[in-house]
Structure 1
Amino acid sequence: MFDLSGRAALVTGAGQNAGAGIARALAARGAAVAVNDLVPERAEAVSGGITASGGTAVPVAFDVTDLDAVREGVARARAELGRHVDILVHNAGIPADFGQGPFRTLAPGRWRGPVEINLFGAMNCVSAVVDDMCEAGWGRIVQISSGAARTGSDQGLSLYGAAKSGVEGFIRHLSQELAPSGVTANTLALGLQTNAAGDATEVFAAKIPTRRLGTPEDVGAAVVYLASPEASWMTGQTLNLNGGSVTT
């Protein structure tokens, strides 16, 4: 079950945290993984770790907001892995300027960053891989999102939340277009992760029913399911992975 042998995956933003956990989990189930990150050294470190553990991985550093760079990176991944990308996990979502703060205080020049990486980054990556998936009659697209897409807060997340809301809508519509071709598209909306809490881990964890924050391994396991052959009837959905902090 959940065997991904013979499949090739591209994971964006995979040089650290949840992205690294996703790349490792997919490789552990047999997928050959193209590890993307904006920082080449991070992509190389995660790729090297997978290879050292007996998996197959290659580093492909590029900026997801640059369509030409995305296309070049996907072509490089295909050449090095020996097949087209079957599984796309768009995890990259935090720009250099996160755009955090009360909206009234944010200059218009700061509005675009979260939207470029989350929404247009996803569109760039999907555009670069989706034709091969449809022609093959099999593909998996997994978008990493956040509870901030559907739950308002007063923590200065209006730009980030808007960007994640937008990409969730994109994935829902995309799923309907691609379903007849054997390609699924789903979103995994994450709750607070260990890397985001800093010194306040225990404080935040106490507010979550499971009494802990999410880990890269939690995220990787959920993505493995969505990427698997067994998830062929799961498409167009947003699944919450948040320790029960928000229920639906």
Structure 2
Amino acid sequence: MFDFTGHIALVTGAGRNAGAGMARALAGQGAAVAVNDLDLGRAEDTCAQIEQAGGRAVPAPFDVTDLDAVRAGVAKAGTDLGGTVDVLVNNAGIPADIGDMGYGPFRDLDPAKWRTPVEINLFGAMNCVHTVLPGMREAGWGRIVQISSGAGRVGLGMGVALYGSGKSGVEGFIRHISQEEAPAGITANVLALGLMSNAGRGTDTSGVAAGIPTGRRGNPEDAGAAVVYLASPEASWLTGQTIDLNGGSQTR
């Protein structure tokens, strides 16, 4: 069960944190993994972890908001791994410690900063999906897993309106893709993560953390296990869904 032998996965934003956990988990089940990150060194670190565990991975450093770079990066990954990407995990985002996620009350945000969170969370995902779909359709099989957040469906008073807007948009996009591509053997689902172990920089998450029923934040292994199922051959009858992985936190 959950055997990915012969499959090639691309995980974006996989240089660290949850993305690295997703890449490691897929490789642990037999997938060859293209590890994307904007930073080559981080991508290489995750590849080294996978290889040390007996898996196979190559770094794929490109900016998901640059369509030409995505096309070139996916093509190179396919060449390096000897096939076509048939599992896509869209996880790329803006870590709070290296970029401006647009945190703060919307009324105070400079309009010049509105685009970046939306471009990476929505258009970055679109670029990757558009690039891998032809190969998946030709193969008659594919898995698209979009990483999102409860902030895409729940209004929060903690200054994440721009982030939530991007996530809301991409969840709608994935629902439409699931319907368009289901006849071709391609599933598309959303995994909405709750508060993760690396969260908290840039905004106050203490209130959210205190309300998690399981009493802890999520970790990379939690995210990796869920992605393995959603991307697996066994999940062929699950598409167009948003799955909350959040320690039991309620979404509305």
TM-score band by shorter chain is over 0.9
Which of 196, 199, 207 in structure 1 is aligned with 2:199?
Answer: 196
Tell me by how many angstroms 1:49 deviates.
1.2
Q: Percent identity?
A: 69
Which of 106, 131, 138 in structure 2 is aligned with 1:128?
Answer: 131
Tell me by how many angstroms 1:204 deviates.
5.2
Maintained 8 Å contact 1:194/1:201? no
Cα distance between partner residues in 1 of 2:183 and 2:174: 15
**Corresponding letter in the other structure for 1:228:** S
Cα distance between partner residues in 2 of 1:190 and 1:65: 22
**Corresponding letter in the other structure for 1:241:** L
Which of 227, 230, 240 in structure 2 is aligned with 1:226?
Answer: 230
Report Cα offsets for 1:158-199 as digits up to 9, x if no partner: 00000000000000000000000000000000000001146x
Tell me by how many angstroms 1:207 deviates.
1.8
Aligned length: 247
Q: Counterpart in 2 of 1:242?
A: 246
Q: Counterpart in 1 of 2:101?
A: 98
Q: Indicate the RMSD between aligned Cα atoms, in angstroms.
A: 1.5
Where do 1:42-53 residues align within 5 Å? Answer: 42-53=42-53
List runs of 5+ in structure 2 lacking aligned partners. none
Cα distance between partner residues in 1 of 2:205 and 2:18: 16
**Corresponding letter in the other structure for 2:31:** A
Q: Counterpart in 2 of 1:139?
A: 142
Q: Secondary structure at the match of 1:196?
A: coil
Report Cα offsets for 1:197-222 as digits up to 9, x if no partner: 46x99875442111111010000000
Compared CA separation, residues 201 and 127, structure 1 to 2 (3 A)? closer
Compared CA separation, residues 206 and 155, structure 1 to 2 (3 A)? closer
Where do 1:167-182 residues align within 5 Å? Answer: 167-182=170-185
Q: Counterpart in 1 of 2:212?
A: 208
Q: Counterpart in 2 of 1:27?
A: 27
| TM-score of the pair, normalised by structure 2 | 0.95
Maintained 8 Å contact 1:191/1:214? yes
Cα distance between partner residues in 2 of 1:247 and 1:16: 27
Maintained 8 Å contact 1:197/1:204? no
Tell me by how many angstroms 1:50 deviates.
0.5
Maintained 8 Å contact 1:189/1:241? yes
List runs of 5+ in structure 1 lacking aligned partners. none
Report Cα offsets for 1:78-128 as digits up to 9, x if no partner: 000000001000000226210011101111110000111010000100111
Cα distance between partner residues in 1 of 2:116 and 2:27: 31
Maintained 8 Å contact 2:33/2:58? yes
Maintained 8 Å contact 1:201/1:213? no
Report Cα offsets for 1:30-66 as digits up to 9, x if no partner: 0000000001100001011101111000001000000
Q: Counterpart in 2 of 1:164?
A: 167
Cα distance between partner residues in 2 of 1:183 and 1:90: 15
